[in-house]
Amino acid sequence: MKKFLAMILALVMALSLVACGDKKDDPKTDDNQGDNPEVTEITNADEIADEMTSEDGKYEIAFVTDVGQLKDKSFNQGTFDGVKLYAANNGLSYKYYQPANGDQATDDDRYDAMKAAAEGGAKVIVAAGFMQATALTKAAAEFTDVKFVFVDRDSAVTTEDGTALKNVLGICFQEEQCGYLAGYAVVKEGYTKLGFTGGGGGTNPACCRYGYGFVQGADAAAKELGVKVDMNYSWQYGASFNASPELQTMVSGWYSNGTEIVFACGGSMFQSVAAAASAEDGKVVGVDVDQSSESETVVTSAMKGLSDAAEWAIAKVYDGTWDEIGNAATSLGVAENAVGLPTATWSMENFSVADYEDLFQKVLNGDITIDNNSEMADPSTAGLSNVNVNYIGG
């Protein structure tokens, strides 16, 4: 999936929740690029150390993690990759902060991490995950000279009294679109016994969009093929997005009872699902980033451009155009090439790249309508005709 392209000025001036764009800011043309124009741009974040030491002990670009591990091969890591890439390619210091108490972190723990980042010299703080809202609102109101990039936020951020926080940008993705693409693809590939296991307890808008999109795509493909699809659908053991023996046991039971492929939608939860798939000869759909390198069980991944989005937003801090996006939120999807499936690494045999490109174009053109209901935690109530959803709950 190509890098998504930066949004046009008209969008942000209107402070809408729609993303438009044409060309990603070229960091090589920015004034802050350092003194050596011959330096080769790094494109692989894995080549950049997760930790660095600045000479003055200050770190300009900070990342505050969501729950789960930093190196989760998913949401946290994908976002942090963008932080590292921008910093490394522009000669800037960077540091990540993990809130105390792991998956039991409180709003105070998250605020303390942001406070530490701000007091540690951060000019911009990238915070990942919808659970950051309370802490980020407090920190942004206090540290008004610091810019905050809130990934997984679908609206502008204001204080309790309605004061607009112009130092905050919310970024979310149209997960229902890449979920749809994945669900459609695996059914066209020949899978009819599916599973979905999500994080956030069914209250996470992003995971709800992912899952509901997945079901809709599966339903559309099943209609075209004239088949019925069964799907186990659960939010159990996903509140913290972490791997767990309980999750692995549940998914192993699915596989042993006929489930062929499971959409693992929730950070490090992937590890439990992949382990179950390996033991039971099952398959997996990855999430957020291309997870094919993590397990041979991965058929494809429902991806969103986390790294590119982080890079784009950080660049706005340094190129002097932050005022165009502050106190706004933007939603990225197929129109920005910010969601999709990794055709170069998937293991599809019956669903071709040409089939995928045709489907992608139909979504782009609006020929396919995908419901983006971010509260649809239980698709068994959605009136789908060709998918029988066995809703297990959370």
Complete DSSP assignment for 64-122: E--SS-TT-SSHHHHHHHHHHHHHHHTT--EEEE--TTGGG--HHHHHHHHHHHHHTT-
Overall average pLDDT of the 113-130 stretch: 96
Q: Compute CA distances 100 → 106, 130, 151, 153, whole Å.
A: 8, 17, 20, 22
Check residue 155 and give its pLDDT.
84
Distance CA 35, CA 56 (A): 20
Distance CA 363, CA 257 (A): 34
- Which helix (H) or strand (E) is 304 found in, with range? strand 298-304
Check residue 25 and give its pLDDT.
40
Q: Which residue has the higher pLDDT, 86 or 6?
A: 86
SS in 3 state form for 129-182?
CHHHHHHHHHHHHHCCCCEEEEECCCCCCECCCCCECCCEEEEEECHHHHHHHH
Overall average pLDDT of the 117-144 stretch: 96
Say if residue 36's pLDDT is above 60.
no
Q: What share of the chain in percent tops pLDDT 90?
A: 76
pLDDT band at 341 (very low <50, low <70, confident <90, very high): very high
Say if residue 180's pLDDT is above 70.
yes
Overall average pLDDT of the 377-381 stretch: 97
**Which ranges of the chain does DSSP label H, i.e. alpha helix?**
9-13, 75-89, 107-119, 133-142, 175-189, 205-225, 245-256, 269-280, 306-318, 353-365
Q: Which residue has the higher pLDDT, 161 or 89?
A: 89
Q: Which residue has the higher pLDDT, 7 or 154?
A: 154
Say if residue 242's pLDDT is above 90.
no
Residues 6 or more apart from 392 whose CB is under 8 A from it? 232, 233, 234, 235, 236
Overall average pLDDT of the 48-65 stretch: 96
Overall average pLDDT of the 82-102 stretch: 96
Check residue 39 and give its pLDDT.
56
Say if residue 197's pLDDT is above 50.
yes
Mean pLDDT rounded to a whole number for the chain: 89
Please identify which residue in the block is written with the tokens 């946290």: 76
51 close to 114: Cβ distance less than 8 angstroms: no
Per-residue model confidence as pLDDT tens digits over 280-305 = 999 999 999 999 999 999 999 999 99
Overall average pLDDT of the 296-325 stretch: 94
Say if residue 28's pLDDT is above 60.
no
Say if residue 8's pLDDT is above 90.
no
382 close to 215: Cβ distance less than 8 angstroms: yes
Say if residue 9's pLDDT is above 60.
no
Check residue 35 and give its pLDDT.
46
Overall average pLDDT of the 117-142 stretch: 96
Overall average pLDDT of the 371-393 stretch: 96
291-309 b/e with 16+ CB inside 10 Å = b? Answer: bbebbebbbbbbbbbbbbb
61 close to 48: Cβ distance less than 8 angstroms: no
Q: What share of the chain in percent tops pLDDT 70?
A: 90
Say if residue 82's pLDDT is above 90.
yes
Gap between the terminal Cα atoms of the chain: 33
